[in-house]
Each structure stands twice: as C-alpha cells, then as structure tokens.
Homo-oligomer: A and B are copies of this chain.
Amino acid sequence: MGKLYGYAGRILRLDLTHRSAVKIELPYDMARDFIGARGFGAKILWDEVKPGVDPLCPENKMILALSPLAGTAAQSFHRTFAMFKSPLTCGYFRSTGGGFFAAEVKSAGYDAIIIEGRAEKPTYVWIHDDDIEFRDAGHVWGATVDGATEILREETDKNARVLAIGPAGERLVRVACLVTDDYRTPGRGGGGAIWGSKNLKAIVALGTKKPELFNEDLFRELVKEQIDVYKRSPLFDAFHSLGTNSVVYQFYTLGHNPTYNFKNTELENAEIWRTEVLEKYVIKHYGCFTCMIACGKKWKLTKGPYAGLLWDFPEYETHWSLGSTCGITNLEAIAYANMLCDKYGLDTISTGAIVAFAMELYEKGILTDRETDGLRLRWGDGDAMVELVRKIALREGIGNILAEGTARAAEIIGRGAEKFAMHSKCLELPAYDPRAAKAHGLSYATSNIGGSHMIGWNKYEILGMPEKVDPLTVEGKGVLAKRVQDQIAAFEAAGWCAFAELVQTAGYGNVEKTMEWMGKVLYAATGIEEFKDPGYIWLVGERVYNVERAFNVREGMTRKDDWLPERLQKVPFPRDPARGQIFELDRLLDDYYAARGWDAKTGVPTRKKLEDLGLSYVADELEKLGKISS
C-alpha cells in the first residue's frame, strides 16, 4: 500500500471517560473496503460495539466519519455522517447533516472520530489540528444550540465550526439530534441523546491542512465535469431556487405528504405548499461547504404571532411532520417550531410525527386535558403544536412521555395507543405513504435504521427518474428496493449528499454514469485502484448494507422487525392516484429477501452472501452467535 491520498489518514479516538485522545492510522483495508463516511461507521460499529449494549450507556459509541473528498473542491461531499447504536431503534443507525463541520474536521487531519465512554461532567472537545483539548462545558450545558455555539466560538476561534446538542439531547430525549451551523442536523435516530448520555455538549473543530490528492489533474477535470453536469441538470434550478420546498405540493398531489397521522391523504388548504406561496418567504440562499446547489433557504416571517423570525426554512419533510401529518397548514407555526427544533436540538421528522400521534390520541380520548395539562391537542392547531414541541424538548409534563418516541410512549400510555404509533423499528415514519410507492415503502420496512426516507429514497417511483417505474405495482419491487438501498449506501460510503447525487444523476440521465464518475473521482483523490471499477463501488454499497444488517441481526432483529403499521397494511389508500392501494408487506418482503440473497424466513444474510461480499468474518461471528448456520 502507498500513501492514502484524499484521506487525512487518521482516526481520532476520543475516550470521554479517561479524557484521552488517541490518533490512529487509518487502516488501508478499511479505506479500500468501505471507502469512508457511512462505510467507516458501519465497519467500526460492527467491530467495536458489542451486542446488547444499552444505547445510552458509556459502552455505546458514536462514529463521526467523512468522505475521502471532504474539504476538497468536489461538490457536495462535505457532510458529517454519524453512526451509532440508536436509543430509538436499539439498532444500527446512520444520520447525516450538511454544513461546514466535516470539511473542518478533515482540515484538522481526521477522517473519522470515535466517541466513546462518558465524561464525568459536561464537556466539550476542542480540536485544533493536532491539539485536542477536553474542556469544561458546564457554562453552556443547558443552553440552546445557537447560544452555546456562539459562546464556544468566542472562547476557541471565531472561525471554528461547532457540532453540538441542545437541551433535548441533554435530557436524553430519544429524538434529539446533533446540530451544526445553527441549522444543519444529523437529525434522526437520537444521536443527541447519546451525546447527552456521555455528557458531551459539543465538538469544536478548526483545521489548517489542505487535503492531498493522488492525481490533481484528473481530479480537477472530474470536478469540472461535475459542475457542468450540475448546471445542465433538469433538477438544478428547482433545488437551487427552493431546495426541497420545490416538491412539497407536487408530492402532495402524488399522494405523499400523508395527513392526520397517515389517517388520511387530503388536507384542506394544502395549496399553501404551492411553490409560489413558499418562495415568498425566502430571503436568502445558502449552501454547505463549496456546494453550488445551495439548497438552504433563509425564511422570514413578517406577519402573525411569530413575526420577526429569520431562520432556516422548513425542509420538505418538516412541512409534512410539523404540518400536514398534524393537519396543520399554518406555515408560520411550522417555521417557528422548525426553529425551536434547531435550537433545542430535535429531529423535526420524529418530533412532528410524535405531535401527530399525540393529536390522534387526543382525538380518540386516549390523551385528555388531564394528561396534557390543559393543552388542547386539536388537529390543525399550529400554536398547540409549537407548545408541544417545547414540552417534548424539555421533557415537561406529557412531553416527558412523548420524548421517548411514539413506540415507547404508546407502551407507557397503553389503552390501545400503539395502533396510532406510526413507526418502523421505533423510528417515526416520514413524509411518503408506503401504499403509494411500494419499493419506497419496502425500504421503510426493511431499512437498517427503521422508517427512514433516505436509506432507500426511491427516485424511480417518486420522481420517475432516471427511468419511470409504476409506484403502485408489487412486481420487481424487492429488486428495486435493494438496488436503491445499495446505491445510496455506496454514495453515502463516499459521503455524498443525496440531493446532489440526484441532481447529477438527472444531469447524466442514468445512475450508472453517476456511479462511474464517482468511482473515478474517488480514485483520482485517493489512488485506490479498485475505485476505478464502478462494479466495485456497487459492491461496497451492498457490503455496507449487509454489515449494517448484520449488526442488527446480532442485536436480535429478524424478519418480524421488518414491519409497517397495520394502518398501512390494511386500510386502502383513499384517493387518486393510489386509490384502493394497501401495502402488501409479506409479499414484498419475500421478494426483497430473495433479491438480497437473505434467508426468507429470518431475514438474515446467508453465509454465501456475506462471503461474496468479502464479509466472512461477519458470517463467522453471526454463526458463533447462532444467528446463521454454516
């Protein structure tokens, strides 16, 4: 092996218990086999987190990992990936957010940070190139993310980048997230609660190193190609001008954006999500490190009780979670609650889904004014939603139960509440109706992280691109779901942004070309020969996906956990274009396991599949645990 260009070449192990920071040489094999980012997280979690560990105990770890292209001129590879055993799903989790933190960590000289142990008292870690300091965070413990960030930059360096938790994470709210640059969140799965459990308020990073590239000329040429493709992509303008807001109303008309906690699919006044309404709130575009798509928008509210707000806009998912699934069309309340989530450090998707769940329980009389301290949780009441978000963040009153997430809250509340908990593997479902897009829904059911829209976001079904696939048919959806999951796992092992990949794929007109380009640019940056072969990159995607699955198998998950709520399996979808559809779980699962080469009965990867993926050590361990037979 030669020098690992593109990579910083080091992993930083932060042991909070012993306040030790150890720099480990990046293993060449890991770089080759898992590329980076999500791939590194999957591999390190498999190697280091033993089964059965309580996610909120010191023994759990969080891996922050970056793209080998982080901090370079390549577009949109600068996301922070956070992998951990989730306090929500109790399984493998990957969460990702944009901004500038990843590029800064790379410039400081690290490809990944392993966070382990538990600090004795509130702590933040100040990474300044080779210097690592564990510092007291008592003064900012309890503060909102934006407030704490400002203080920490003042006392380190005003150009430093901060990844932090808010009061929700400190209170171990199971849907608490990490936040950077005020708005950018590795949001889902409760990573914020893990930091809270470890007494870790923030990591502050500042770096001065420039990433080295294996073949600068080739790299430059490929980045130029990327920029050209972005520019000519039919999706570029929409993403650039309105970000994910460009599709809110469009997806609503397609039957996504389920309403009233998936009870319905229609909503009076949904026209407020038309682009011509939403664009009026936008006063500024902003992007992550170097990214020309700049999908971030700043919104301003000038009317109503929340007037004065100037903050990041609600993304597509947030319009749904704090909006349509609660029957709410009060855009001002949605924008304000979105801000509260950023300040308190809450995942907007799960938080909104929890509010919808609580509103349905209130409608059914399972929750009453007695439990809510008089807060009337009526469908469509934006102000009540805002107040409940605050209560969840601070674990106040009923918020203390709801902070456990829908699945656990349903168990605590009892009285049939579990029927209304719309989750999969305890992760609240996001803004697409599985009945109206079967492969996409199949990915909710089978995803390694539970009900996530990102793990298998099905552009074929939802956008009809790069080629159109009928979203309502069942046939071939196992193969399609697997294909998309592996694609995304590959793109995310490379640390790429999903929107950006979508823009580039739309520009090329097919995924193969995108994968080929990505392999080449990874090669140009790193010098790893294998990356030149697009087939190899696909293989890495599948490898990552299977290691993640194996992690969950080792934790005890099986086919029974690949599940969607009864409502989606039994109640026919009520309107066009998906009228009458249900989600055919069992049939779709059979198809999927066959496509995956997994055991149809247990949903466990076979030894053959694992060996084909170069994962015989995974197979050996699963066999030792009696999870698979030889």
Contacts and interface: CB of A to CB of B under 8 A. Distances in A.
Given A151-B284, A151-B298, A298-B151, A142 B307 contact: yes
Interface string A124-160: 0000000000000001111110011011000000000
Interface in A360-402: 390, 393-394, 396
A300 B140 contact: yes
A302 B144 CA distance: 10
A143 B284 contact: no
A580 B84 CA distance: 69
A302 B151 contact: no
Contacts of A390: 305
25 contacts: A139-B283, A139-B300, A140-B283, A141-B302, A142-B300, A142-B301, A142-B302, A142-B308, A143-B300, A143-B308, A143-B309, A143-B310, A144-B310, A147-B300, A147-B310, A150-B310, A151-B284, A151-B298, A167-B307, A305-B390, A305-B394, A307-B394, A308-B343, A308-B344, A308-B394
A77 interface: no
A298 B150 CA distance: 12
A143 to B, nearest CB: 4
A142 to B, nearest CB: 3
Nearest to A138: B283
Nearest to A339: B147
A167 B310 contact: no
Which 7 A-B pairs rank lowest in CB-CB distance, beginning with the nearest? Answer: A147-B310, A142-B302, A143-B310, A139-B283, A144-B308, A167-B308, A143-B300
Contact of A139 (B284, B311, B394): B284
A144 B143 CA distance: 20
Contacts of A144: 308-310
B283 A151 contact: yes
Place the interface of chain A in its size category: 20 to 34
Interface of A: 139-144, 147-148, 150-151, 166-167, 283-284, 298, 300-302, 305, 307-311, 343-344, 390, 393-394, 396
A307 B142 CA distance: 7
Contacts of A166: 308
Contacts of A140: 283, 300, 310
Contacts of A142: 300-302, 307-308
Contacts of A151: 283-284, 298, 310
Contacts of A396: 305
A179 to B, nearest CB: 12
A301 B394 CA distance: 12
A372 to B, nearest CB: 15
A364 B143 CA distance: 40
Given A142-B300, A283-B139, A147 B307 contact: no
A562 to B, nearest CB: 38
Contacts of A344: 308
Nearest to A155: B284
A438 B211 CA distance: 71
B310 A148 contact: yes
A139 B285 CA distance: 12
Contacts of A167: 302, 307-308
A167 B303 CA distance: 10
Contacts of A141: 302
Nearest to A282: B139
A288 to B, nearest CB: 15
A346 B284 CA distance: 26
A38 to B, nearest CB: 31
Contacts of A309: 143-144, 147
- Which of A150, A310, A344, A390 has the largest count of B CB atoms less than 10 A from its CB? A310
B147 A308 contact: yes
A94 B307 CA distance: 29
Contacts of A393: 308
A390 B307 CA distance: 10
Contacts of A139: 283-284, 300
Contacts of A343: 308
Nearest to A387: B305
Contacts of A394: 305, 307-308
A6 to B, nearest CB: 30
A69 to B, nearest CB: 26
- Which of A151, A166, A307 has the largest count of B CB atoms less than 10 A from its CB? A307
A396 B308 CA distance: 13
A382 to B, nearest CB: 16
A441 B300 CA distance: 44
A148 B300 CA distance: 10
Contacts of A308: 142-144, 147, 166-167, 343-344, 393-394
A339 to B, nearest CB: 10
Contacts of A298: 151
Nearest to A168: B308
A164 to B, nearest CB: 12
A307 to B, nearest CB: 5
A309 B167 CA distance: 10
Contacts of A283: 139-140, 143, 151
Contacts of A143: 283, 300, 308-310
Nearest to A344: B308
A457 to B, nearest CB: 31
Nearest to A158: B158
A366 to B, nearest CB: 25
Contacts of A311: 147
